[in-house]
Amino acid sequence: IVPSMNPDGAARGHLRTNACGANLNREWAPTGEKGSDDYYEAPSLERSPEVYHVLKKMDETGVDAFLDVHGDEALPFNFLAGSEGCTNWGPRLKALHGAFLASYERANSDMQRKISYEPDEPNHALTNICSNQIALRFDCFSATLEQPFKDCLTNPDPTKGWNPARASMLGKSVIDALAYIHPYLRDESEFWTALPSEDKYVRPTNKYN
């Protein structure tokens, strides 16, 4: 568990960039076309030491399941952004994503699965984004967990909105969802054929009005 991937940037009031000015969610793989002006190697100790060291430790330990926890300024929901656009997305990762999110929704009514970013088209994921890179690199369930900046329309609270107490409960509830999919994380059988229908993957949309 990494409590904060961007302590130096956060201390400066940055929402996306570290003290060097690098967007740490675009530093998980080389970026741009090699030989072009916009190409750069990533992660690096110069631009993104935070990502460099965390990814190095991941390579040492391996990863079976991964969540990158963010806040989203636009969508007023808690939601999961998956690895649908990755080249290894198939029945296994689709089933793990669906079962995880269904279980999470059952464990905490502040989570929902219908609203999210529009999924990437097949084989068009940006591999320098954290959760996409982890899904590819370790062939594992990997997603970005987004929380709203203001209120959560699943259970609106005009007075307190989305707040630290509810965020803490959302964090605790993720253990239920991880425990639910744990037996399947490295299962080489077609386990998805035996999962209940309520665990089926739901393709989300960003349209909610």
Q: Is 146 a catalytic residue?
A: yes
Report whether 11 contacts 4 (CB < 8 A): no
Residues 190 and 145: their CA atoms lie apart, in Å, by: 26
- Residue located via tokens 């630290």: 164
Q: Strands (DSSP E) along 60-184, which ranges?
A: 65-72, 79-81, 141-148
Residues 97 and 84: their CA atoms lie apart, in Å, by: 10
Residues 88 and 76: their CA atoms lie apart, in Å, by: 30
One of 146, 188, 190, 198 is an active-site residue; which one?
Answer: 146
| Residues acting as catalytic residues | 146
